Amino acid sequence: MPGLDGLRGLAALYVVLFHCWLYSFPGFPDSSAPAWLNALMFGRLAVVFFLILSGFSLAISPARHEWRSGGVTRFLRRRAWRILPPYWAALAMSLIISWLVVPASHYGQPTGTSIVVYGLVAQDMFTAPTPNGAFWSIGVEAELYLFFPLLLFVRRRLSAVVLVACVALPVIARGLMAADASPVEGNKWLTPHLAPVFVAGMIGAGVVVASDRVQRLPWAWFAGLAAMPVLALGLIQGSVWTVRHYFWVDLAIAPAMTMLLAAVATGRPAILVRLLTTRPIQSLGGFSYSLYLIHLPIVMAVIHGVAPRFVSPGLPTFWFTLFLALPVAVLAAWLFSKIFETPFKRNRSWKSLVAASGSDSGSASRAMVKTTSCDISG
C-alpha cells in the first residue's frame, strides 16, 4: 500500500534526524540541546511505529485468508530472504567504518563476539559491542517474526481480544512489579516489552478486510483522540520524563499509531494519503529499510570525524551534520538499496535472482554491441 510505504519512509527519516540530534548533544536524555529541538528526541517511538507497521503489513494477507500464514517454513524463509541480505551487507559496512573510521559506541570497537552475535541477529539476547546502534531493533523484529505464526494461530482459533490479553497482560504485570519499568534502547530482552505493539499492528490489519461499515469509520479521528492523552501527559511532564518512561509510553501510544495505519490503509484522510503517495515520499519509503540500516555510521563519521575540523560542538555540529550527513545518508541508502535490497524484493529465490542477473547482463551486453555497431556504421 503506497500510503503505508510513505509513512515508513517518513519514520526512517525521523530516525536519521534523531541520531543527528542525539550525537550532536551529549547527555541523553538530559542533553544540552535547545528546548526547541526536543521534538527530535523520540527516536524510539519511530521504531515502535516501525514494529506496529510491520505487524500490520505482515498480517494483511493472513487476515484476508482467515488468519492463516500459508506455512511457517515458507513465511520464515521469505522474511529471511527479505531482511537478512541487506542487513548483513549493512553489518559489514558498519564493521568496516567502526574499525577504520570511528567507533560506533563509547563501549569500544566491535569484536569477534560482535560479528557472531550481530551476524546471527541475536543482539536482543546477548551483549556485544555494537557495530551500529540502530541494529537493536532488527534483533527485536527477528524474534517477533519467529512468534508471528503462533500469534496468527491464537488469533485464528480464539479472538483478537484473547491475543491482545495473552501478550499485553504479562508485559503490563511485569511493568507494575518492576522497580523501574523504563527499558532503554539496547537492553537485552526487549522483545517481550515490544511484543504488544507488534500485536496491535496485527489486530489493526483486520480493518482492511472488515466490512465497508467498519472501514468507513473515522479512524484518523480515533487515532487523534487516542493520542491526545499521551501527548498531553508528555507535554505536562516534559520530554525527559517521556523518554524515561518509554515502557509505558510505547504501550499507550500503540493504539493511536494502529488507528492511523488503519486510516491510511483505507484511504483517509485524503489529503494525508495524497501527501504520502507523492513521488518523493513514496520513493523514500521504497528504500527506508536501507536508510535505517546504514544511516548511523554515516552520521557518526560526520559528527566525530568531519565536523570537529570545521565547527564547534553543540548546535553548530548539529546543523553541520544535518546538512551534510542527511543528504549523504539518503543518497547512500538509495544506492545501497539498488544493490542489496531491491534485487531481493523482486526475486524470491537464488535461482530467480541469478537468472535475473544473467538477463540484465545479457541485455547490457546486447545494448553495448548495438551501440558499438551504430558507432562503427555511423
pLDDT in tens, 345-357: 887 777 777 777 6
C-alpha cell at 236: 505536562
Provide the pLDDT confidence category of residue 2 given band limits of 50, 70 and 90: confident
Cβ count within 10 A of residue 307:
22
User: What pLDDT is stored for residue 27 in this prediction?
Assistant: 87
How much is the pTM?
0.90
More confident residue, 220 or 175: 220
Provide the pLDDT confidence category of residue 375 given band limits of 50, 70 and 90: very low
User: What pLDDT is stored for residue 4 in this prediction?
Assistant: 95
Cβ count within 10 A of residue 296:
27
CA dihedral sign, ordered 35, 41, 46, 48 = negative
Peptide bond into 280 cis (omega under 30): no
pLDDT tens string 256-285: 999 999 999 999 899 999 999 999 999 999
Provide the pLDDT confidence category of residue 185 given band limits of 50, 70 and 90: very low
Interatomic CA distance for residues 244 and 3, integer angstroms = 32
pLDDT at 373 over 50: no
Interatomic CA distance for residues 83 and 328, integer angstroms = 23
Interatomic CA distance for residues 199 and 164, integer angstroms = 7
Provide the pLDDT confidence category of residue 368 given band limits of 50, 70 and 90: very low
Average pLDDT over residues 221-228: 97
- The CA-atom distances, in angstroms, between 246 and each of 29, 183, 250 are 12, 7, 6
User: What pLDDT is stored for residue 355 in this prediction?
Assistant: 74
Average pLDDT over residues 108-131: 92
Percent of the chain with pLDDT over 70: 90
pLDDT at 38 over 80: yes
Provide the pLDDT confidence category of residue 374 given band limits of 50, 70 and 90: very low
More confident residue, 26 or 11: 11
Out of 67-81, 181-195, 328-342, least confident range: 181-195
More confident residue, 122 or 353: 122
User: What pLDDT is stored for residue 345 in this prediction?
Assistant: 86
Out of 237-241, 279-283, 311-315, 352-356, least confident range: 352-356
Average pLDDT over residues 100-123: 88
pLDDT at 167 over 50: yes
Average pLDDT, the chain: 89
Q: Give the start-to-end residue ranges of the domains of the chain.
A: 2-346
Provide the pLDDT confidence category of residue 177 given band limits of 50, 70 and 90: confident
